[in-house]
Chains A and B, each alone.
Chain A
Amino acid sequence: MSVTGYVGMVNLQGLHVELLPPAAVHAGQPVSFSLRVFNAKRHVSSFLLLCSSGGNSVPLGHLRPAASSELPLELIFEGRGRRRIDTVRVSSPFPVNFFVRSCRLRVDCAFLLYPRLLPCSPSEGGDSRGRHQAERRRNGRGNDGEVEQIVEYSGRESLRQIHWKLSARSDALKVKQYLSALNDPLLIDLERLPGNLEERLSRAAWLVCHWVQGRPVGLRLGGEVVPPLAGQRQKHHLLTALALYGKTDQSDLKGAISSSN
């Protein structure tokens, strides 16, 4: 008993864990954190480990001495705002399954929990047709928006743009000119989205995630407006603003909005 107890104790000694969050963590959505387990013992392996956090766990059969292993740990969170995972519980029935020995190892993993994603149409809360029509025109044409007009083929257009049916009826090649949907800015107004505050935030988060990759997306949040921009950085800013909206610590929110401006 004393030997197995000692072996079990040594098995959990010298272990260090690191928990790395994914790029975006949305509420209600299973996300895979990267759990790196490091065995600092120089000569002794660790066996049959079970690393758990938030009700989920990931097994590790064998960890060599002075080696590390990276495991995916699936977690789901509720709510939004700043979150912190202080410790990860590492347990093991090793060596003989009479007792399960466990310990809590510090990970100090801080991350921002973005709102849950609720699918929504841009028309529900976005302002992309009326006020920004002029801007849209200014922003030029593209290949993936709506058809704006049919014009004569100038030789610069791509073959995809040729309107074959109309060209067959006339003597000249006709081409379709599209509005660029990607460049069509979308200003999400939180107040105009349906539902209660959390639902509105969730819908806004969905709109951000859905459109921000190729289209400028802005956000009207209370009295503040984040001007439309596209890309990852904007996505991060908008989601941060949505995650922290209405939370006690507004400094981060203001920081997120001002950095965007």
Chain B
Amino acid sequence: MGLDLSRLITLSGYLCALLGGGSLFPYLPLTPRLVFLAGLAAGLAAQRRHHPLIPHLLLTAGSLLLFFWYAVQFNRHNPALPVASILMILLGSRLADEKTPRTWLQTCAIALFCLSASSLFDLGPRFLLLLALMMPLLALMLVLLTAKSHPGSLDHTGLKRLVAVGFGIPAAALLLTPLFFPILPRTQLPLWQFIQQAGGTQPAGLPDTVTPGSSAQVSTSDLPVFRAEMPRIDPHQLYWRGPTFSRLHGLQWLKDTASPPAATPLGQQVRQIITMEPGGARSLIGLDLPLAFTDQRGATIPPINWSRPLPSPRRIRYEVRSVSVDTRPAPAPDRALLTRLPAETPLRLRQLSARLQNAGTNAQARLDALERWFRTAGFRYSRSDLPTGDNALDSFLFVSHRGHCEFFASGFALLARGAGLPARLVGGYYGGEYNDLGGYYRVGEARAHVWVEVWIGGKGWIRVDPSGFAVNADSALGGTRHRTLLTRIGLLLDALDYTWNTAVITYDLSRQLQLADNLHTRFRTFHLHDLTRLLPAAGLLAAAIGMLWLYLRLRHGNRFDRRVRLLRRFRRQLEKSHAIPRAAPLGMFDIAQQTNCPQIDAFVAIYARSLYRECDLTRGEYRQLNRLLRAGFRRTVP
């Protein structure tokens, strides 16, 4: 099968349509899917019969009908699906229609729109892969369609070179992308992410209340909530702190609205760059204990904003400095508030806490006794078959001994309070899978966690995770997982996803300003001696370019140039000696005949010999021609 322009157009066109339609296919309802498949089948059948199966008018009317059907379904809350369905229907209609260059162009444009629309549902590496496949095809299609509409004919070699150009254009554009991407204007608010909300599945985020017993089971979804770029640390220290819960309404813990007190930096600090997924946590999250939050431009976020709801459901990125400690010194809190038990506190809990109060003379001893009780009571961490209802906590503590972190933390905190120890809950996440490739922890929704902080005089707030006292704590709280090949592939894909999101998706105006700030700072602090450090690298680069140039020069030579230069000098000489204009449409033999000059005859003979034997001038010939040109041509007197 030979290379043929029309065949290439057909092949590339169908591939484009398949990529575009295929990217949107999984997200659409049945009708647009069927229309696309039917259009594809009709188009292929028409290709074989060289005649369209469905009349153009019928196709247009059908497309319009479906267009209006989906257009009326468009609304603010569901903008993506109707638009994507319309695009898919239009693509199917174009595929079924007669194939002219115009139809192919429309098909490719709609296929590209379909691919773009698929990003409303998933803007991940899959989209990037499909885009990387479609771009060369689209460029090729444009080049081929241009050739098709041109009256000039293309030979086999011409067509092959044209295909190479078609693929070369996006390759060259890819090289330019890093140059243009950072400087192209961006909006402050990423509009695409705003629309994307409609189709995407998002994590639920941390709740504003902690209510043990509200549901018989909890979510096990592993949707990523955030990723934290940081070095790997002890997995038992991976407590990602969110809001605190001090007040109780019945047995329901309410989120604190007061700003957290500034923490004192003690111990080794850990720096993290957190990228929060849209709809992830509802307030800033940082490794326990966060000292300071800074935004992308390096501005410090005041503590008052740490626990406030995040401004938008977009993907956000910030930096946290934390200190990894279990205890932090703090002034005495509101003891009355933090030791208060609600009226709904189960009787058995009150009795137990009263016993614990007598267990020791000081706070630490009472805390130890409480921990000991939890360790020995035989609690099991479970996400299903949980006690529900008003007596859920009582049932957990004294009957079933099965529950998740909310039961553990809530029970522990109430018992601590009953024993006279100020206690509160801390919401957040625990653990995370470290991705060595990306150098970050990925924390999923299933890792949402609640633990307890108990205040002990002289020490401060002590972090206690009662869930860790469960007999199955290691396995239930996501201990070290065995990394299978599939897990590794998953981590690789996640690293790609993360890179894509951080480098491309979240690149907005503030990142641009940050880049500009950095450049400005570097420029201001630039010294000449900085340049000297670059000299070896620059020298190496120059040497490499020089070697490449020399190699190409030696390989291909400047034979062509040399001959052209000789010819130019020859025409110049002729103009001087015989007044024959340089642009005169005369061949060399005509000139020799007309001028009747022996030097010109000699020049033409040597030059033409080299030209017609299709090889370069020998060194001797080159010298001889140069000699002739230097000596000049004398006009023969008739």
Taking a contact as CB atoms under 8 Å apart, the answer to whether B161 and A45 are in contact is yes
A contact set with B: CB distance below 8 Å: 2-4, 6-7, 18-21, 40, 42, 45, 47-50, 59-62, 64, 66, 93-97, 106-109
Point out the residue from A19, A95, A109 that lies within 8 Å of B146, measured CB to CB.
Answer: A95
Q: Indicate if B539 sits at the interface (CB-CB under 8 A).
A: no
Are the CB atoms of B161 and A59 closer together than 8 Å? no
Which residue in chain A gives the minimum CB-CB distance to B173? Answer: A3
A47/B564 contact (C-beta < 8 A), A60-B152, A61-B147, A109-B585 known = no
Chain A residues within an 8 Å CB radius of B172? 3, 6
The answer on a CB contact under 8 Å between B157 and A47 is no
Cβ proximity bits B156-169 to A, threshold 8 Å, 1 near / 0 not: 01110110011001
24 residue pairs A–B, Cβ–Cβ below 8 Å: A3-B169, A4-B169, A6-B172, A7-B165, A7-B169, A20-B585, A45-B158, A49-B152, A50-B150, A59-B150, A59-B152, A59-B153, A60-B152, A61-B158, A62-B152, A62-B155, A62-B157, A62-B159, A93-B146, A94-B146, A95-B143, A97-B142, A97-B149, A108-B584
List the A side residues contacting B166 at CB < 8 Å.
95
Please tell me which one of the listed residues B150, B157, B556, B583 contacts residue A93 in the complex, with CB atoms under 8 A apart: B150
The 4 closest A-B pairs by CB, nearest first: A62-B158, A61-B152, A59-B152, A108-B583
Q: Is the CB of A47 within 8 A of B173?
A: no
- By a CB distance below 8 angstroms, the chain B residues around A60 are 152
Contact B583 A106 (CB under 8 A): yes
A4 to B482, CA, bound (A): 50
Report B110-152 CB contacts with A as 1/0, cut-off 8 Å.
0000000000000000000000000000010011011101111
Does B560 reach chain A (CB closer than 8 Å)? yes
Task: Tell which of A61, A96, A106 touches B143, judged by Cβ atoms closer than 8 Å.
Answer: A96
| A45–B162 CA distance with the chains assembled, in angstroms | 9
Residue of A nearest to B145 (CB): A97
Closest to A40 in B: B564
Task: Assess whether A47 is in contact with B147, with CB atoms less than 8 Å apart.
Answer: yes
Greatest chain A CB density within 10 A among B154, B162, B166 is at: B162
Q: With A2-B176, A64-B157 as given contacts, are A47 and B169 in contact (CB-CB < 8 Å)?
A: no
Q: How far is the CB of B246 from chain A (nearest CB, A)?
A: 59
Q: A42-B560, A48-B146 are in contact. Are A3 and B155 (CB under 8 A)?
A: no
Indicate whether B581 reaches chain A with its CB closer than 8 angstroms.
yes
Query: Which residues of B from 149 to 203 have beta carbons under 8 Å from A?
Result: 149-155, 157-159, 161-162, 165-166, 169, 172-173, 176
Given known contacts A3-B169, A40-B564, A48-B152, A96 and B147 CB-to-CB distance under 8 angstroms: no
Task: List B contacts of A64 (CB < 8 A).
Answer: 157
Contacts of B139 in A (CB 8 A): 96
Q: Which residue of B lies closest to A111 (CB)?
A: B585
> Of residues A18, A50, A94, which shows the largest number of chain B Cβ atoms within 10 Å of its Cβ?
A94
Query: How many Å from the CB of A69 to the closest CB on chain B?
Result: 10
Closest to A11 in B: B165
- Known contacts A3-B173, A42-B556: does B162 contact A47 (CB below 8 Å)? yes
Provide the bound-state CA to CA distance between A4 and B153, in Å.
Answer: 21
Q: A61-B153, A96-B142 are in contact. List 13 more A-B contacts (CB 8 A).
A: A2-B173, A3-B176, A7-B169, A18-B585, A21-B585, A42-B556, A45-B158, A47-B154, A47-B165, A49-B152, A62-B159, A95-B165, A97-B145
Query: Which residue of chain B has the shortest Cβ distance to A4 in the bound complex?
Result: B169
Q: Are A61 and B155 in contact (CB under 8 A)?
A: yes
Residues of A within 8 Å of B564, CB to CB, are: 40
B146, B149, B159, B172 pick with most chain A CB within 10 angstroms: B146
A174 to B155, CA, bound (A): 66
Residues of chain B within 8 A (CB-CB) of A95 are 142-143, 146, 165-166, 169
Name the residue on A nearest B153 (C-beta): A61
Q: Which residues of B contact A97 (CB under 8 A)?
A: 142, 145-146, 149
Interface residue from B556, B581, B583 paired with A107 (Cβ < 8 Å):
B583
Proximity string of chain B (453-467) to chain A, C-beta cutoff 8 Å, 1 when within and 0 when not: 000000000000000
Given known A-B contacts A45-B158, A59-B151, A106-B583, A66 and B560 have beta carbons under 8 A apart: yes
In the complex, what distance in Å separates the CA atom of A126 from the CA atom of B515? 91
Q: How many residues from B make CB contacts under 8 Å with A?
A: 31
CA A96 to CA B166, docked complex, whole Å: 9
Asked if A61 meets B146 with Cβ closer than 8 Å, knowing A42-B560, A47-B162, A107-B583, the reply is: no
CA distance A62 to B155 in the complex (A): 7
Asked if A50 meets B146 with Cβ closer than 8 Å, knowing A7-B169, A18-B585, A62-B157, the reply is: no
Across the interface, name the chain B residue whose C-beta is closest to A34.
B585
- How many angstroms between the C-alpha atoms of A93 and B152 in the bound complex? 12
CB distance from B601 to the nearest CB of A (A): 23
**Quick one: closest A residue to B138, CB to CB?**
A96
When distances are taken between beta carbons in the complex, the residues of chain B under 8 Å from A50 are 150-152
Please measure, in the bound complex, the distance between the C-alpha atom of A62 and the C-alpha atom of B147, giving whole angstroms. Answer: 10
Contact of A61 among B154, B173, B176, B585 (CB under 8 A): B154
Cα distance, A20 to B583, chains bound together (Å): 11
Q: What's the Cα separation between A18 and B585 when bound, in Å?
A: 7
Alpha-carbon gap, A42 to B563, bound state (A): 13
Which chain A residue shows the least CB distance to B558? A42
Chain A residues contacting B560 (CB-CB under 8 Å) are: 42, 66
**Closest Cβ–Cβ distance, residue B433 to chain A (whole Å):** 40
Contacts of A62 in B (CB 8 A): 152, 154-155, 157-159, 161-162
Pairwise interchain contact A48-B147, C-beta atoms closer than 8 A: yes
Q: How far is the CA of A95 from the CA of B560 in the complex (A)?
A: 27
Q: Which residue from chain B places its CB closest to the CB of A109 in the assembled complex?
A: B585
The residue among A2, A21, A61, A93 with the most chain B CB atoms within 10 A of its own CB is A61
Within 8 A of A (CB), among B323-362: none
* Residue of A whose beta carbon sits closest to that of B556: A42
**Complex contacts, B147 vs chain A, CB 8 Å:** 47-48, 61
| Cβ distance A250 to chain B, nearest Cβ, rounded Å | 22
Minimum CB–CB distance from A220 to chain B (whole Å) comes to 32
Residues of B within 8 A of A49 (CB): 152
B162 / chain A contacts, CB cutoff of 8 Å: 47, 62
How long is the Cα–Cα vector from A232 to B239 in the complex, in angstroms? Answer: 104
- Interface set, chain B 420-472, CB cutoff 8 A to A: none
With the chains together, A3 CA to B154 CA distance in Å? 23
B159 surroundings in chain A (CB, below 8 A): 62
* A52 → B minimal CB distance (Å): 12
Given the known A-B contacts A3-B173, A3-B176, A66-B560, are A61 and B150 also in contact in the complex, defined by CB atoms under 8 Å?
yes
Closest CB in chain A relative to B102 CB, distance in Å: 12
Chain A residues with CB below 8 A from B143, complex form = 94-96
Q: How far is the CB of B160 from chain A (nearest CB, A)?
A: 10
